[in-house]
Amino acid sequence: MAWGWIQSTCVTEDFSLVWTPSYTQGGFNQTVCLEANSLHSDTCADTAPAASIHCINLLVRRCRYAMQVDQQLQEIANIFNVDWMRLWSLNADLTHPDYIIYGGQTIMIGHLYRALPHEMPLQIAKRMGMPEEQMRALNHGLDVEAELELGDQLCVVPNSCQGGRASSLDRLQLQSLSSFLGRTVADVHPIPAHVFLDGRDGA
């Protein structure tokens, strides 16, 4: 039997790229560009080398975790340095804390906090009873020493045993409540401050 080589023709290849963010990348938001280059060979002489660039935006939602196969709440709680009861209370659709959760299901691992103007991440962490390391781990790329802008989101895990007991409203005088509310309530529904505080409807 005679053996010989059969010249191959030009071929294309398909590649799949899978990226799994780490548990410390909640809030990651970045554009990543990939470049693919074709190779010139004698078997495909009519095709010149070429490059193709494709850019995609990678966004990791804050306070969300995608469960892996056979993971349970106790294991996830240990990853994020919280107790499993807190995780269970954040996910009302989990009817029992010991059920094995299917892979790919997403759960909440904290509360989404929307900042007021000039708030500082470290002040929020102190009020919530969170260690600085936990605040950093739950909020990728956060500058803990920079002021936040109105509406900036943070993932927080309040600890009632370590957090502050006072509310921001505790430091306000009765007459200053309307200015504190700004355009959120006072400008749209001009309710007298005393009515807002004691719940009366003014009738």
For residue 110, is pLDDT > 90?
A: yes
pLDDT at 188: 43
Q: Model-level pTM?
A: 0.67
Strand boundaries in 20-134, DSSP class E: 29-37, 51-59, 64-66, 106-108, 111-114
For residue 177, is pLDDT > 60?
A: no
Single-letter code of the amino acid located at 106: T
Domain ranges of the chain: 63-109, 172-198
Q: Over the stretch 62-72, which tens digit does the pLDDT of each residue have?
A: 999 988 888 88
Least confident segment among 52-66, 69-83, 94-108, 149-163: 94-108
Q: Please spell the DSSP secondary structure of 109-131, one letter per residue.
A: -SEEEEPPTT--HHHHHHHHT--
pLDDT at 203: 44
For domain 63-109, the question of CATH label 3.10.350.10 is answered with: yes
| 47/195 Cα distance (integer angstroms) | 78
With H, G, I as helix, E, B as strand and everything else as coil, classify residue 178. helix
pLDDT at 189: 45
List Cβ neighbours of 55 (8 Å cut-off, separation of 6 or more): 31, 32, 33, 34
Q: What is the mean pLDDT of residues 85-95?
A: 88
